[in-house]
Amino acid sequence: MQLLKYLIDRIYKIKSMLNDYVQDDINIFQRFIILLDLALSIVIYGSGITDYFQYQFYKRRHMDRKNFIVHRKRMWLVHNLNNKHDRKIFDCKTVFNKLFNDYLGRQWLDPSESSFEDFCDFTDKHNQFLIKPVQGSHGMGIRIESVDQGSDLEALFEALQSEKMLIEELIAQNSELAEFNPSSVNTLRVVTLLNGNGKVNIMTANLRMGNGEGRFADNFHHNGIAALVDVDTGLIVTPGVDKKLQKYFFHPASGKQIIGFRVPCWAEVIKKVTNAAQIVPTVRYIGWDVAIGEDGKVLLIEGNAAADPDISQMPDQVGKWPLYQKVIKGIKSYS
């Protein structure tokens, strides 16, 4: 029964991907060829179904396909460069926040590890705050809560404990970044790879923006938009794209131009993630989520020890595996 459910899910996913990424007017024979090619790509390249369509493998030759970081290569990075036990630091937001507290730049509280008095003190200072799951990814379960004199704080406290939620002070973001989409905190994803000799390599960077649909999160997997940032200059060098590969030269909600925008405080961003990447040296491959406050302070949101490379390869449709191979070679040589 479980296998049947899995197969049905895969069939629906492939059908959905065909509709989202491939022309609707292709005939049955062309669809069969794509499905056959998908199966071969899974075996030969270790591609996932999503990889195949979002990197447009159905249009690519072998020499191009092998340059993309697909599922198999991503898992290789995670399992060979990141210690299995220490990866858990990045999976649990409470553990992460404790270790990286000096990098967060905002107050936070885990109700499950705090007293009701601590919770009341927090809500006295912050009558509006962010709630997010202690365990989770892709922005799932995140919401904003507001309290006032009529709020039942005890019931809310118990609910947060039961749901295993973390609460954080809201971020007042940099005004230039807010102009893209004011309803969301528009953040950066910066990927670091720690070399064998302790050098931190900045592999890729992206600016992520909400899409103007009223969401307060900018997560790429929930209708967000992402553009590639040049790691040396902080300059955006591609249009924004969403998960369906729609391109945006101007933000659809604000009309603000995306290409050519220079991320403010870029040197401070690089310094922040470079320092953070050395805190847990047994976890070499990390995708850092970073915000820039209205005062120019760089704030660490979280670290991802299994960062999805889709956000760094979809905007320009260029595989980033050759970039990683150079660093990996140095790690193996050192080891």
Q: What is the reported pLDDT for 52?
A: 96
Is 138 a domain residue?
yes
Give the structural domain span for 25. 2-66
Listed in sequence order, the residues at least 6 apart from 109 whose beta carbon sits closer than 8 Å to its beta carbon are: 118, 119, 122, 166, 167, 168
In the prediction, which pLDDT does 158 show? 94
Asked whether residue 247 falls in the same domain as residue 304, the answer is yes
Count of helix runs (H) and strand runs (E) in the chain: 14, 11
| Listed residues 169, 185, 207: the one ending a domain | 169
Q: What is the pTM of this model?
A: 0.92
Looking at residue 5, its pLDDT comes to 74
Please list, in sequence order, all residues whose beta carbon lies within 8 angstroms of the beta carbon of residue 116, skipping any fewer than 6 positions away.
153, 154, 157
On whether both 157 and 189 belong to a single domain, the answer is: no
**Domain annotation covers residue 90:** no
Residues 180 and 280 in one domain: yes
Is residue 277 within 8 A of residue 194, CB to CB? The reply is: yes
Residues 147 and 194 occupy one common structural domain: no
Per-residue pLDDT band for 311 (boundaries 50, 70, 90) equals very high
Which residue, among 53, 72, 56, has the nearest Cα to 64 in the 3D structure?
A: 56
For residues 164 and 178, state if they share a domain: no
pLDDT classification of 31: cutoffs 50, 70, 90: confident
81 lies in some domain: no
Residues 206 and 224 in one domain: yes
Residue 45 has pLDDT above 70, yes or no: yes
Same domain, 251 and 121: no
Measured between alpha carbons, how far is 241 from 243 in angstroms, rounded to an integer?
7
Give the percent of the chain with pLDDT over 70. 93
- Same domain as 199, residue 151: no
Q: How many domains does one find in the chain?
A: 3
Verify that 206 and 142 share a domain, yes or no.
no
Q: Side chain identity at 266, as an amino acid letter?
A: W
- Residues 221 and 36: their CA atoms lie apart, in Å, by 27
In a domain, 49, yes or no: yes
Q: Residue 34's pLDDT is what?
A: 92
**Residue 335: which pLDDT band, with cuts at 50, 70 and 90?**
low
Cα separation of 184 and 142, whole Å?
12
Instruction: Enter the DSSP assignment of 283.
Output: B
Domain-terminating residue out of 169, 186, 204: 169
Pick the last residue of a domain from 169, 201, 223. 169
Considering the domain boundaries, does residue 75 fall inside one? no
